[in-house]
Amino acid sequence: MTHSFALHIPDADLEPDPLDPAQIVSGTPEVSGKVVWESEDGRQIRGIWQITPGVVTDTEADELFVVISGSATIEVEGGDSFTVGPGDLAVLRAGDRTTWTVHETLRKAYAINL
């Protein structure tokens, strides 16, 4: 995008983004998302991401996100565990290994720096 814009996140159409089966710990979580802006060098990404209930693992990028709807508990290997829900802001550090227990379908707006 080369111009400023606004987007109503709760109603945004998302595209399926299949999980690597090795990431799924339990349940049948499904992921979808949409990149709404990316820097020319690809090192900054802004978007919307959604996951249905289940338990998954991930290795994080440098990310700031705000939960729009749903809830999840995020356990950081060797660190804290926290539960997020609508209106919560969270910061994940690059390289953090996490386990996400998604209680109800979670939708978030995110900003990632690579």
Q: What percent of the chain has pLDDT over 70?
A: 98
Q: What is the mean pLDDT of residues 63-74?
A: 98
Band of pLDDT at residue 28, cut at 50, 70 and 90: very high
pLDDT at 70 over 80: yes
What does the mean pLDDT of the chain come to?
97
Q: Which of 71, 73, 74, 30 is nearest to 52 (CA)?
A: 30
Asked if 76 and 37 touch (Cβ cutoff 8 Å), the reply is: no
Per-residue model confidence (pLDDT) at position 25:
98
> Does the pLDDT value for residue 29 go beyond 70?
yes
Q: Give percent above pLDDT 90 in the chain.
A: 97
One-letter identity of residue 9: I
> Residue 86: is its pLDDT beyond 70?
yes
Half-sphere exposure of 48 (CA within 13 A, CB side): 17
pLDDT surpassing 90 at residue 10: yes
pLDDT range class, residue 1, cuts 50, 70, 90: low
